[in-house]
A and B are shown apart, each in its own frame.
Chain A
Amino acid sequence: MNVAILSPLDLSIAAALILILAGLSFNLKLGLESQILIASIRMTIQLLLIGLVLHYLFSSGSVWLIILVSQVMLLAAGREVRARLKRKLRGFFGYHVGVSAMFVSSFSVALLALLVILRQDPWYEPRYAIPFLGMLLGNTMTGVALAADRLTSLFYEQREVIEQRLMLGETRSEAVSDIRRDCMRTGMIPLINSMAATGLVSLPGMMTGQILGGTPPIEAVKYQILIMFLIGAGSGFGVICAIYMIEKHLFDDRHRLVLDKLLPAG
């Protein structure tokens, strides 16, 4: 089965729906029309550009180019994690924690999948490497950012509780144990819920894409199961990594809470 080739006219019909939505927003005085239009234009340009990049990448097959692209993706994801925090971490550490957590959640897991599970020749086959890394980064970032955001917010809001627990002789780890558990759960639960709903409530994009592309449904499902396992595990590992890193960073070596390492809420 061949993919139905989309013509510019086909895409224009779908774009017309967005124009109707923008018109409705104007009529209902929602004030979202310019945001809807700008976001749509941005999305179109970004995807066309990444289409060109992927086209070039797939045809060149250079390992160095793939490493470069994957590093750019990783750094961008790390930056995005930092940007989603209401109370951001001061200085370089904010990026460091984002990139490290995304490395654990996505980069290392994608590498494992490429080397041990998919075993393509060459192992960095860009048709697999880039989409896998992209899906892992995109899906685990939300959990990591949610958990990290809750941690920095709770450290600030519950600073008196943390300090009074320290005053009673608890270690820094004991004093924030409840907060730590809460934040790890916050980061992991959306993924667990999404695993539970997949196939019943939602049909994931990758699987749908593969089916549209002509892959037999059972093969597409197997890929989807693989990616869900990788995202689930990677997300959990990334959340745990981010929480421990931030927790350690916000205390000094005498187990004193150092909240001036956080920027004011913004």
Chain B
Amino acid sequence: MSSSSPDSPCLLVQSLRFADSGPYSFSLGPGSCTGINGVSGVGKTRLLRALADIDQSTGRVVLNGKDREHYTPPQWRRLVALVPAESRWWHPTVAEHLPVDHDQQQAVELLQGCGFEPDILGWDVSRLSTGEKQRLSLVRALIRTPQILLLDEAGSGLDRDNGELLEGLVSNFLGGKGAAAIWVSHDPEQLERVATLTMTMFKDRLCF
């Protein structure tokens, strides 16, 4: 039901309820990465969707001292970015999925951080493997410089090397930008590597 309460949390969640789950209350401090595990079907993905305001929920969600209702939905979702377990791609090339006005240098750094050459931006998305899509979906979220990163089973299907690259990219991002992350995973070893704190989710509470 509760967890850390850093001095100046960037995300504060109070009595969050969605569908038949909750209430959940917790906060995320700058630079933190909170791991969440729990049995399948308990609602981990729905928690992330509720936080990103993709699904309806009740309760209070505050980012940098401002209630969610004071942000427009697009503003909120750019700041609280959800990276889903399976990514979808709708434009012909990878580059078209990045913002038109994105920072070229940042894109190159993010791509290299994920083990890609920059020319992958010109690739047709039908050429991408499942693992490549997974890493690129993180890049397309990070380039929008979110404050809160919600990762749903990120890196679960990757080989060890690429998994480590992805984890490194997230921790660099959190360290450099003062952002925070929630990382949902079924892999306790992965959570041990990436999370500063791990919680187990139940229908009505989150426990250490």
Contacts and interface: CB of A to CB of B under 8 A. Distances in A.
The answer to whether A binds B is yes
Contacts of A167: 52, 54, 77, 81-82, 84, 141
Contacts, number: 50
Interface centre among A165, A168, A254 (most CB of B within 10 A): A168
A171 B72 CA distance: 9
Contacts of B87: 164
A166 B77 contact: yes
Given A171-B74, A255-B73, A166 B54 contact: yes
B203 interface: no
Contacts of A171: 73-74
Contacts of B140: 168
Interface string A243-266: 000000000101111000000000
A178 B73 contact: no
Contacts of B84: 160, 164, 167
Interface in A31-71: none
Contacts of A166: 54, 73-74, 77
B88 A161 contact: yes
Interface in B59-101: 73-75, 77-78, 81-82, 84, 86-88, 90, 97
Interface string B48-59: 000011111000
A178 B88 CA distance: 15
Contacts of B56: 252, 254, 256
Contacts of A161: 88, 90
Contacts of B88: 160-161, 164
Interface in A104-132: none
The range of chain A's interface size is 10 to 19
Contacts of B82: 167
A92 to B, nearest CB: 22
Contact of B90 (A178, A252, A257): A178
A64 to B, nearest CB: 47
Interface in B127-160: 140-141, 144
A169 B53 contact: no
A80 interface: no
Interface in A145-190: 160-161, 163-171, 178
B141 A168 contact: yes
Nearest to A165: B90
A171 B82 CA distance: 15
A160 B152 CA distance: 14
Given A168-B81, A168-B144, A169-B78, A256 B53 contact: yes
Contact of B75 (A163, A169, A256): A169
A255 to B, nearest CB: 4
Interface string A219-232: 00000000000000
Given A160-B88, A164-B88, A255 B74 contact: yes
Interface centre among B54, B82, B141 (most CB of A within 10 A): B54
A161 B52 CA distance: 16
B61 to A, nearest CB: 12
Interface string B164-180: 00000000000000000
B74 A256 contact: no
Interface centre among A165, A167, A170, A252 (most CB of B within 10 A): A167
A164 B73 CA distance: 13
B55 A170 contact: no
Given A255-B74, A256-B53, A256-B56, A169 B144 contact: yes
7 closest A-B pairs by CB: A169-B78, A255-B73, A161-B88, A169-B74, A167-B82, A169-B77, A164-B88
7 contacts: A164-B84, A167-B77, A167-B84, A168-B78, A169-B144, A254-B56, A256-B54
Interface of B: 52-56, 73-75, 77-78, 81-82, 84, 86-88, 90, 97, 140-141, 144
